[in-house]
Amino acid sequence: MTAGLAVAHEDAVLRITLDRPEKRNALDDTMVAGLIALVAAAGRDESVRAILLTGAGEHFCSGADIVARNTGGDTRPRVGSIQRRLPDQAHRLIPVLLETQTPIVGAVRGWAAGIGLALTLAADVAVVAEDARFWAPYAARGFTPDGGVTWLLPRRIGEVRARRMVLLGERIDGVTAAGWGLVDRAVPAARVDAEAAEVAAALAAGPTVALGLTKSLLHTGRGSGLDAQLRDEAFALELSSRSEDFREGLSAFREKRSPKFSGR
């Protein structure tokens, strides 16, 4: 077990809960390392067909615990310590979330700020409370964004809106976030957990190979030209069409019934 994280494997869904409510689930280095390990392992675990990421208490994640990192020591770190540390921490976590073929569902209430915003953006589907708050607090704190926010945010909501968030520190609620395309949907706070669980269960019951390859195509397609993407689609189609779920899908179509995918 990792301090600050609670984990439960229910059916084919791995539920990861940021479990530090007294700090609004701010991430420390131990939690980041634990998340990296959990998501990477889930991507290799054939019993896990979807991941549900949520936060304990009233908030999803208020960002990185920079106060704890910058207090309690008399020794000033060497110049370049941040640049050396990030590739193994936040700058490893976000690619792991994006690159794993296991679909990830985010259930977001309260604050999603800093790395919490990045986690929301990295989820394949984010179900958020209507009164959730999304904030890129970097300029207000006198430093620059990390965690891939400057890469993910403009791709989701456009450059103009992204500039308002990262340069001017504009905070938006869940309804606005859904309207802008930052998240999948905004629902009453009391419905967040149930709807996110329904989405995770639906993904876990889907054609796992095809869903994983489709997620990969969507991710790599952000930087691919058409020719390269068409080659990748052909390769993915070759693999998915050899799966047991493909044969089940065809049988269900012929028999005019709902498919029962095994994830194989």
Q: How far apart are CA 88 and CA 82, in angstroms?
A: 10
pLDDT at 135 over 60: yes
Q: What's the rounded mean pLDDT across residues 185-199? A: 98
pLDDT computed for residue 84 by the predictor: 65
In the chain, % of residues over pLDDT 70? 92
CA distances from 226 to 151, 212, 232 (A): 20, 20, 10
pLDDT at 43 over 90: yes
What is the helix (H) or strand (E) element at residue 126, kind and residue range? strand 125-129
What is the helix (H) or strand (E) element at residue 133, kind and residue range? strand 133-135
pLDDT computed for residue 141 by the predictor: 87
Q: What are phi and psi of 20, to 5 degrees?
A: -140, 55
pLDDT at 7 over 80: yes
pLDDT band with cut points at 50, 70 and 90 for residue 79: low
Apex 92 CA angle, 205 and 20, nearest 5: 75
Q: How far apart are CA 109 and CA 111, in angstroms?
A: 6
pLDDT band with cut points at 50, 70 and 90 for residue 91: confident
pLDDT computed for residue 143 by the predictor: 87
pLDDT computed for residue 16 by the predictor: 98
pLDDT at 134 over 90: yes
Q: What's the rounded mean pLDDT across residues 154-179? A: 97
pLDDT at 119 over 80: yes
Q: What's the rounded mean pLDDT across residues 191-204? A: 98
pLDDT band with cut points at 50, 70 and 90 for residue 100: very high
pLDDT computed for residue 201 by the predictor: 98
pLDDT computed for residue 65 by the predictor: 82
Give the model confidence (pLDDT) of 9-30 as tens digits: 999 999 999 999 999 999 999 9
pLDDT computed for residue 90 by the predictor: 78
pLDDT at 66 over 80: no
The region of weakest confidence among 81-85, 137-141, 256-260 is 81-85
Q: What's the rounded mean pLDDT across residues 126-137? A: 98
pLDDT computed for residue 86 by the predictor: 60
Sign of CA dihedral 215, 220, 221, 223: positive
| Higher-scoring residue by pLDDT: 143, 186 | 186
